[in-house]
Chain A
Amino acid sequence: MSVLEIVILLPILAALAIWLGAPARATSVGAALINLAIVLGLLFQFKSASAGGAGYAFESARVVLENPAITFGVGADGVSLILALLTVLVTLSAVWQIATDKPAIYHIASLLIAGGALGAFLSTDVFFIYAFHELALIPTFLMIGLYGHGEDSHRKAVAWKTTIYLGAGSLILLAGLAWLVLEYSGGQKLTFDLNALRAQAASTPLPVEKQGLIFFVLLLGFGTLVSLFPLHSWAAPAYATAPTPVAMLHSGVLKKFGLYGIIRIAMPLLPQGLQVEWVQHALLYMLLGNILVMGFVTISQRSLDKVLGNSSVMHMGYIFLGIASGTEIALQGAVILMFAHGISIALLFALMGRMRAQLGTLELSKLGGLASHAPIFTILFAFGTFASIGLPGLANFSGEVMIFLGAFGSDGSSTLGPLQWTVILALWGVVMSAVYMLRAYRSVFQGSANAGLFMNDPVVSQRIPLMLLAAALLIVGCCPWLLLGLLKSLSVVPVAAM
């Protein structure tokens, strides 16, 4: 059994064990710790295992069906390893911070989401990439519907809205993937194996127009899962309602699946898809919607859960900008930002869950002065806040800078093309996120405390998972080359002069 298979199966088996009566907390934290150790080990070995950081490492394959060819293949390149690291980090802190009075299903659902996400990130077969993501979605829906916050009817409505949006997105995605696979089969045996599909994409590329069309379908499918504007409206209410570990894992980890799918499946298999002008322009409009429209929407929010939920939607726009430009630097930046955003939003949701449990309200107007009661909590929150604004020294900054610079200089021309204009407009998003995040920070932590609203600092054992995330933000922020070193092999989309 290969080590990547163990990484995928461990959380799923741990979930099964808890279901059958194993102690929930010990099992889930233990499994998450082991997984973190394994993934860190893999990171150190990656260079030697992958011939200097290019290509897949730790590959293994089991044929599960010969015709149509479906292979349970696993393998990791830099992108998948970074996302696996993100998954195990967020999983560890998510299961760690679950309060002891919560039922075991919190741990089971978190582990299943983690296992599904790891499976999706580490598989090398389109079928399993899709299937593992579905596996992770189900506990998400169930947990929102069953243990979500708010009124019974409200939470059910949110759960169904999320289910319908993501279900429809998955169906569109499935249609797009099936189309892709069928096109490459050319009437012959079908294969879902990513390596075989890549070889076919290199040897017999599809006509450019068709590439654009399939790319667009995939973009809609993956985009719905990542809350690409205007398919985003499920996200903010879902995160505001979801139980804390589910919000952390979905916004931090699972949402990156759509972006990962574009980078891992759509771009290598449809290398000219984004060169089709209307596809690229459509993407640029949509991502500007994410950044500018959602920026204004976020500014107008009056409670912390809505601010964080909408900001998470907004930040996806930057990552899409990195993808849309297709230059190596911007793509590397996009991957770094995926990691950084995942960590920072998970940290913020974890802290928000604590506030909700202790204070009972998240209305910005009712909060205030928490810094004096809970200094450590405040510092941790500041880490998340400043990371998501893009303060230098924290992880998000390096990702955003690389995206903006990479996208602006993408075609090497001296005139301002659509990409350059998008960058110019998107930069205003940074200002907007500073406005809403700093305002939220000020109204929660500074000023005078409102009567009756009191919260204390987390005790040491509860600080550990939060500090872990904060440390990850700081380390990657100060030494982004740690992750960049893994991204040498990132497939670069050749951008012709437009």
Chain B
Amino acid sequence: MSVFSVEIFLVVFGLALLCLEALMPTITRRALSGISIGGVALAFVLFLFSSKSGADLPMFVQPYLQLDTLAVFYKGFALVITLLVLWLMVESSAYLTKFTTGGHYNELFCLPIFVCVGMMWMASAKDLVTVFVSLELVTVSFYVLVAFARKSNLALEAGVKYLILGALSTGVLVYGIAWVYGATGAMSFDGISAALANPTTSKQAALLGAAFLLSGLAFKVAAAPFQMWVPDVYQGAPIPITVFLSVGSKAAGFIVLTRTVTAFMAQGSVIAMEVQTLLILGGALTILLGSLPAIFQTSVKRLMAYSSISHAGYLLLALGAGSARFDLNAGGVVAFYLATYLPMTVLGFLVLALLRANGGGEDLRDFRGLAKRSPLMALVMTIALASLAGLPLTAGFMGKLFVFIGLVDQASWGALICAVIGAAAGFYYYFRAILAMYTSDAQTSGSMVWSTGTKAGAIVLAIVIVVIGVYPKPLQKLLTPKAAAVATH
């Protein structure tokens, strides 16, 4: 079985799903969603058995693709988040039915699968062209996904904003790639890092290219100063798509960022210092621009959007300030942080979707009295929010711990102060939401309706958050590059 059988399977599966929907108009949505979830789950099982880091790749892909620890991790990550998004789409069927023409949205199910393939390919990419192609597969699918609820004005607004800014950022990215190629004469990350280590390489040209490239990627991961689109788009898009943007798109951006930054900051690189400064400055700014406006939000969905921005800031800091004393390198810390970020974000948005399905809105006041209406939902949301805030014993704290120690080791005191300010502000706004859930003066009453399967899913996510928080060792092991794998390369 080829190492890329999962990707190939998913492409075929996605196309088949599209054909199935087009050629069999009688197929029910229930069947279609079941098939799509089943297919991705099957792909995940295939992935577990087939993908081992350091496996031998066919000759003809070796210049373009690799399969190291990080690649395997991000492939699994892409599959998991796609599965969760498909599940969330089932949970928010009422919303999707309401805001699509004739309640018809069956063609929606194949798009996340294409995004997933793009992300999986991106995880393996070894050169900028492969990165660009797979990134576009992801982004173009997202243009459609964001604007999918076409009868909602907010969603249309979000779609247009995302399309225009996304296209612009793609332009910036390509421009950056061109400059980097011009300066280094290479498209592959290995070639770029080798060229940058050569002192005769033009520093100005390389730096300009790197700056444009990083700016384009900063848009994808919602990092300042390219974060302005995030609150509106997150608020307007359907909740499953918001989750996908917030977790999947961010992860996709960060795998590319990890690869490029590793190349830019390789041993002896002429622009290593500048890139690191850019990352740390950008990270610190992102945290402030994410956390401080979040304090004033009354819509929990917008709050989550700002929180997503500030988490991008911590991720940038993790990338910029790795520490030599961990078993994890900077990319590993980023992956670790993203792995902690996934369950808490999905869980938070799941509760939002459920509130909506039960006739509520997304405002803080809709959270009032949630603990009375459904103690379990309030409990899992408390765990999700506490983890987003970075409370000890939750997954969120572990991720932040690595970032903070890295900053101390790099003596980036300014960034550390920004990170602390962001964390402190986070405690305020997340706890305001927690407090709202436990107040008794509810606006709406009546118990919440959610199925047993949904409950089970929410409990599993909450348990994952707590387990990573108190027992992060397995996750760290998973992300530690294996010595044996390195040797075979």
* A residues neighboring B (CB under 8 Å): 19-20, 62-68, 70, 72, 105, 127, 130-132, 134-135, 138, 141-142, 145-146, 163, 167, 171, 178, 182, 185, 187-190
- Chain A min CB distance to B49 (Å): 27
Q: For this complex, into which size category does the number of interface residues on chain B fall?
A: 20 to 34
Return the contact of B327 from the options A66, A130, A131, A171 (Cβ within 8 A). Answer: A66
Return the contact of B376 from the options A20, A67, A134, A178 (Cβ within 8 A). Answer: A20
- In the bound complex, what is the Cα–Cα distance between A149 and B386 (angstroms)? 26
- B325 and A19 contact, CB distance less than 8 A: no
Q: Is B478 an interface residue (CB 8 A)?
A: no
- Chain B min CB distance to A110 (Å): 15
- B392 and A64 contact, CB distance less than 8 A: no
* B residues neighboring A (CB under 8 Å): 325-327, 371, 375-376, 379, 386, 391-393, 397-398, 401, 404-405, 408, 420, 424, 427, 431, 434-435, 438-440, 470-473, 476
If A66-B327, A190-B325 touch, whether A134 touches B427 (CB-CB below 8 Å) is no
Return the contact of B470 from the options A19, A20, A72, A146 (Cβ within 8 A). Answer: A72
- In the bound complex, what is the Cα–Cα distance between A171 and B440 (angstroms)? 30
Interface of B (DSSP majority class): helix
User: By CB atoms of chain A within 10 A, which of B325, B376, B386, B404 has the most?
Assistant: B325
- A64 and B439 contact, CB distance less than 8 A: no
- In the bound complex, what is the Cα–Cα distance between A67 and B377 (angstroms)? 35
- Chain B min CB distance to A65 (Å): 5
Q: List 22 A-B contacts (CB under 8 A).
A: A19-B376, A65-B472, A66-B327, A67-B326, A68-B401, A72-B470, A132-B393, A134-B393, A135-B391, A135-B392, A135-B393, A141-B431, A142-B438, A145-B435, A146-B435, A146-B438, A163-B431, A167-B424, A182-B405, A182-B408, A185-B325, A190-B325
- A142 and B473 contact, CB distance less than 8 A: no
- A134 and B325 contact, CB distance less than 8 A: no
- In the bound complex, what is the Cα–Cα distance between A187 and B323 (angstroms)? 10
- In the bound complex, what is the Cα–Cα distance between A91 and B160 (angstroms)? 58
- In the bound complex, what is the Cα–Cα distance between A301 and B386 (angstroms)? 38
- B427 and A167 contact, CB distance less than 8 A: yes
- In the bound complex, what is the Cα–Cα distance between A142 and B436 (angstroms)? 10
- Chain A min CB distance to B3 (Å): 29
- In the bound complex, what is the Cα–Cα distance between A65 and B438 (angstroms)? 34
Tally A-B pairs: CB < 8 A: 70
- In the bound complex, what is the Cα–Cα distance between A19 and B380 (angstroms)? 12
Which residues of chain A are within 8 angstroms of B438 by Cβ–Cβ distance? 105, 142, 146
- Chain B min CB distance to A249 (Å): 18
- Chain B min CB distance to A338 (Å): 24
- B375 and A188 contact, CB distance less than 8 A: no
If A130-B392, A189-B325 touch, whether A66 touches B476 (CB-CB below 8 Å) is yes
Which residues of chain A are within 8 angstroms of B435 by Cβ–Cβ distance? 142, 145-146
- In the bound complex, what is the Cα–Cα distance between A70 and B397 (angstroms)? 13
Return the contact of B325 from the options A127, A171, A188 (Cβ within 8 A). Answer: A188
- A171 and B404 contact, CB distance less than 8 A: no
Which residues of chain B are within 8 angstroms of A141 by Cβ–Cβ distance? 431
Return the contact of A64 from the options B386, B427, B473 (Cβ within 8 A). Answer: B473
Closest to A156 in B: B435
Which residues of chain A are within 8 angstroms of B439 by Cβ–Cβ distance? 146
Which residues of chain A are within 8 angstroms of B404 by Cβ–Cβ distance? 178
- In the bound complex, what is the Cα–Cα distance between A142 and B371 (angstroms)? 12
- In the bound complex, what is the Cα–Cα distance between A182 and B404 (angstroms)? 12
- B405 and A19 contact, CB distance less than 8 A: no
- Chain B min CB distance to A208 (Å): 23
- Chain A min CB distance to B433 (Å): 12
Closest to A164 in B: B428
What 5 pairs across the A-B complex have the smallest Cβ distances?
A131-B392, A67-B327, A131-B393, A64-B471, A65-B472
- B391 and A178 contact, CB distance less than 8 A: no
- Chain B min CB distance to A33 (Å): 25
Which residues of chain A are within 8 angstroms of B376 by Cβ–Cβ distance? 19-20
Q: A67-B325, A146-B439 are in contact. List 19 more A-B contacts (CB 8 A).
A: A19-B376, A64-B470, A64-B471, A64-B472, A65-B398, A65-B472, A67-B326, A67-B476, A68-B405, A70-B472, A130-B392, A134-B391, A134-B392, A142-B438, A145-B435, A146-B440, A171-B420, A178-B405, A190-B405
- A68 and B326 contact, CB distance less than 8 A: yes
